[in-house]
Structure 1
C-alpha cells in the first residue's frame, strides 16, 4: 500500500505569518522584513546616525553646548515623527582641542557609518578632514575656524567662518576707530586672523591693526592688555575719545574664544590709568552670558562692538530654537541659546533635516546626503541666514575660501547690558574678502 506523503507544514506557516504581518502592519514587526517578496535587510527601521563633536573640559575654548544642542534637536525630531519615520541618532565626541583626538572623532564617525558630521567645532581641520574624506562623510555646518572647512569638497559651511567675522569686524571698526589693536590666540588658527581683520580695515580706509599674540589658555592677560593700549596710543592725547563720541580714536578687539572674558578683565584693570578705549570682539568671544556674569548693564563690556554671523539674540527668528531648548533640554545648563556655537548647531541641523527629508527613506547614506548637497539642495533657515545652497555655481568668488556660500555678518553692540543690533539686516562682506583677502 502506497502511503501518501503529508504536505510540508512550512508553506502553511509562511502563509500564516504573512497574514499576521498584513493584519498587524508590516512596518511594526521587525521579523516581517525577511519574508519572501519583501525588502531583505531594509534600513527603514534603523536609526539615521550623525555625529557632532566639540571640545569639553579643556583649559582653552570649550563648546559643550554644541553636542548638547544636537541631542536636543534629535529628541525634538524623533518626537515629531523622525525622518520619514526613522529615528535620528546623534553620537557625540569630545574633540578636546587636540589634533589627535580630532582625527579619532572623525574615524569614529566612519566606524559608526554616520551620514554626516553636523554642527561641530574644531581648530584642527588638517586632522579631521582627511579621515572624513576617506570615509566619504560630509562635514555640514562646522563652526568655521579652519581653512580646510572652506577648501574641502566634503565641507558645507553655513556661515562665512572666522574670515567673514574678522573682515566684518574690521569694516565695523574702520567706520569708528582711527587705530585698532587685535589680541588673538598664538595658534595656527589664530595666525589667519590679522590679515582678515586688516582686509576689513583697509576696505574702510584704515591702517592695519597691531597684531598681539596671546596664549590661548592663560589666566591673565595684563601684559597683552598693556601692549594693546600702548599700540593704539591710548596714553597720548590722540586717544582721548570717549565711548559716546562720534568717532573712537582707539579701539582694541579681542578674539580669544572663552578666554576673551579673562582678557577683558585684565584690560579693565590696566585701563584704569589710561583714557577710555572702545573694546570690540567677534561673536563666540563675546556672549550674553559673559555680559550677564560681569554685571549686565554695569558690565565693563557695556558699549562693546561685536560682529556676528546671525541676528542678535533678542531677534524673534530664534523663537523656534528656544522652544525646542525649553521643551527638550530645559534642564541642560550646557546650552546657551545666545551662544554662536549653539546657534550654528541649530542652523546646521536645520540644513541636515531639510536634506534628509528630500531623500527616499531607504536611500539615506553619506553618499546620498553629499549628492543632494552637491546638486544644489536649497535650505531655508527661517531668515537666520540667507537661503543656503552648495551646488557647483553657489560658492562665492572668495579667494582662498572656495566653499563659502554665505558671507553675511551682523553688527551688534552691548547696550544696557544686552547684545542688540546696530543696524537692520545683514552686511555682505564677500567683496571685502574677494578684494583684500589673504593670499597663500
Structure 2
C-alpha cells in the first residue's frame, strides 16, 4: 500500500547501497594482496558489518517499539442508537494498517471506548485517552463530543477524522479535524430538491439537530429565493410518526429530512402508510436499506445526500476486501454509512499523515503534522482537504468544517444505488449566496 513505508524494503535498499560502496576498494595485479588492499578489505568489512548491525538494530527496534495508541469513541451499549459498525471498522482498519507495515514500522493499537450514550462516561473516555497516552482519538461518533474534545485538547490529543460535527467544539476547536461534511449534506438535499424541480419544499429535522442543521438549510433556500413551507421538528424517538408525516407532506411536493437511522425506521413506516406521492430526501447512512425495510415501495426513488461515495465504488476497495476477509455480516450493520466509511477514512487519513512525521509519533507531533497538512488525498473517499485553511469566511462557529462537498445516491427497491461519484461544493449555498 503506497501510503505506508515498509521497513523491510527500506532495510533491503540500505543493504544494496552498502554493498555498492564496498565494491569500490580495488586490488593490485599481484596474486598476494598488498597491505593497502588488505587494509581496505578490513575497512570495507568493518563498514559492512556496522551497516548490517545498524539495519538489524533498526529492524529490532521497530519490531519491539511501543505501539502507537489510538482510541475510537462510540455508543455500543445503550437504549438508543448504537454503532457496532464503527467499532468493527476501527479494528479492521488497524489490522489493515499493521499488515501494511504500520506507521513507519510501528504498529497501532486501538482502544474502542463505549460511552454508553452517557456524557459522564464519555468524559471518562476522554480521561482514559489522556491517561493511556493516546496519540489521537480517531474515526469516532458520539453525541457527547463536548465532554471529550476540550479535555483531550489540553494534552494535544486530536479529535481526528470523524464523520459528523454536531457539537460546537467539533466545529470550532483547533484540535478537531473532521473529514465529513455534516451539516452540509442537508444543504445538498435542498440543492437536489430544487434542481429536481420541487416547487413546495418542507423540512423535517430531528429534535436536537435544529441548531446545527437549520441555519445552513434555510440559507440554501434563500439562495434560490425561496423559503420552507414549514419546518417540522420531530422527536428522536417515537412509536408513531403519522402526525409528523401528515404535517410534513401538507402542501408540499418534496420533503427534505434530517434524522438518524432509528427514527427513519418508524418514519418510513408512517410514510408508507400515508400513501403519499411527495418525494422524500434524506441523509446518507440513515435513510438506507435498513431503515427502508418494509417500506421499499414507498421510499423507492428517494434521494440521499451524503459525505462519502457509495461503498461499491473504487475508493473503498480495500475496505470491502477487509470486511469480506473478516467474514463480517454486512446485513446486521450498515457499513455503507457515515459510521462505517467515516471510520475507515479517518484511520487511513491518520496513517497517511502520521507516516510523514520525522521522529517520534506523539500527540503533539501528530497535531502539528495534521495542522500543516494542505493536501490530504484519500483517493476519492472525500475531496482533497486542506487542514491549513479554516472556513473563516463561512458560517460563524463552523470554521473547522474543511469538507463542504456532497455526493448523491438514491433508493431503488430498498437498496442504495449511487447516482454519481462527483463531489459538489455547497459552501455558497450554505451561506445563502444567490444562485443564478
Distance 2:239 2:66 in 1: 47
Q: After superposition, where does 1:31-42 map in structure 2 within 5 Å?
A: none
Distance verdict in 2 for CA 1:88–1:333, change over 3 Å? farther
**Paired residue for 1:111?**
131
Root-mean-square deviation (CA, aligned residues, Å) is: 2.8
Report if the CA contact (8 A) 2:254-2:281 is conserved: no
Q: Which residue number corresponds to residue 139 of structure 1?
A: 159
**In 2, Cα distance between the equivalents of 1:140 and 1:196?**
24
Q: Distance in 2 between matches of 1:277 and 1:255?
A: 18
- Separation of aligned partners in 1, 2:249 and 2:149: 39
- Equivalent-residue separation in structure 2 for 1:385 and 1:424 (angstroms): 10
Instruction: State the TM-score, normalizing by the size of structure 1.
Output: 0.79
- The Cα of 1:152 is off from its aligned counterpart by 0.4
| SS of alignment partner, residue 111 of structure 1 | helix
Task: Give the aligned partner of residue 93 of structure 2.
Answer: 73
Alpha-carbon shift at residue 72 of structure 1 (Å): 0.6
Aligned to 2:204: 183
Give the Cα–Cα distance (whole angstroms) in 2 for the partners of residues 353 and 406 of structure 1: 19
Corresponding residue of 2:257: 253
User: For residue 49 of structure 1, what is the aligned residue in structure 2?
Assistant: 69
Contact kept in structure 2, 1:166 and 1:200, CA below 8 Å: no
Counterpart Cα distance in 2 of 1:206 and 1:92: 45
Query: Do residues 397 (structure 1) and 417 (structure 2) align?
Result: no
- The answer (yes or no) to whether the contact 2:220–2:431 under 8 Å persists in 1 is no
> Do the aligned residues in 1 keep the contact of 2:217 with 2:430 (CA within 8 Å)?
no
Partner of 1:11: none
Deviation at 1:52, TM superposition (A): 0.5
Deviation of the 1:416 alpha carbon: 4.2
How far residue 229 of structure 1 moved from its aligned partner, in angstroms, is 2.5
Give a deviation string over 1:210-246, Cα, whole Å, max 9, x none.
Answer: 222222122322222222233xx2xxxxx6xxxxxxx
Q: Partners of 1:394 and 1:252 in 2: how far apart?
A: 28
Aligned equivalent of 1:344: 342
Deviation string, structure 1 residues 298-331 (Cα, Å, up to 9, x no partner): 4422111111012134323222211122224535
- The CA deviation at 1:254 is 4.2
Matched, 1:130 2:115: no
Tell whether the 8 Å contact from 2:150 to 2:169 is kept in structure 1 after alignment.
Answer: no
Equivalent positions of 1:320-399 (< 5 A) are 320-328=318-326, 330=328, 336-360=334-358, 362-376=359-373, 378-391=375-388, 393=389, 395=391, 397-399=393-395
1:333 CA displacement: 6.5
Using the alignment, how far apart are the partners of 1:430 and 1:24 within structure 2?
50
Is the contact between residue 309 and residue 409 of structure 1 (CA under 8 Å) also seen in structure 2? Answer: yes
> Which residue is equivalent to 2:14?
none
Instruction: Name the structure 1 match of 2:216.
Output: 196
Change (3 A) 1:228 1:24: closer
**What's the secondary structure of 2:200's corresponding residue?**
strand
1 CA distance for matches of 2:141 and 2:303?
Answer: 24
Note the alpha carbon deviations across 1:22-70, whole angstroms, 9 max, x for none: 69944576xxx8xxxxxxxx99610100011111233333222112101
Q: Is the 8 A contact 2:309 2:421 kept in 1?
A: no
- Residue in structure 1 matched with residue 282 of structure 2 by the alignment: 281
- 3-state DSSP of counterpart to 2:154: helix
Partner Cα separation in structure 2 for residue 398 and residue 85 of structure 1: 40
What is the TM-score when the length of structure 2 is the normalising length?
Answer: 0.80
Report if aligned partners of 2:261, 2:291 keep a CA contact under 8 Å in 1.
Answer: no
Matches of 1:399 and 1:185, distance apart in 2 = 21
Give the 3-state SS of the residue equivalent to 2:345 in structure 1. helix
Q: Distance in 1 between matches of 2:65 and 2:327?
A: 26
Match of 1:156 among 163, 167, 177: 177
Is contact 2:222–2:432 with CA below 8 Å preserved after alignment? no
Assess if the C-alpha contact under 8 Å between 2:383 and 2:423 holds in 1.
no
Q: Secondary structure at the match of 1:213?
A: strand
SS state at 2:291 partner: helix
Q: Report the secondary structure of 2:199's partner residue.
A: strand
Which of residues 208, 231, 235 is equivalent to 1:215? 235
Give the distance between the partners of 1:190 and 1:102, measured in 2 at CA: 23
Distance, in Å, in 2 between the alignment partners of 1:433 and 1:254 is 16
Q: Which runs of 5+ in 1 are unaligned?
A: 1-18, 34-41, 234-238, 240-248
Q: CA deviation at 1:366?
A: 0.5
- The CA deviation at 1:411 is 2.2
Q: Is the 8 A contact 1:59 1:217 kept in 2?
A: no
Offset, 1:156: 0.7
Distance in 1 (CA, whole Å) between partners of 2:392 and 2:331 is 37
Q: Sort the Cα spacing of 1:319 and 1:209 in 2 relative to 1 into closer, same or farther, 3 A.
A: farther
Equivalent of residue 121 in structure 2, options 81, 95, 101: 101
Aligned length: 381
Does residue 1:83 correspond to 2:103, yes or no? Answer: yes
Hey, what does 2:314 align to over in structure 1?
A: 316
Q: For 2:350 and 2:170, how far apart are their aligned partners in 1?
A: 17
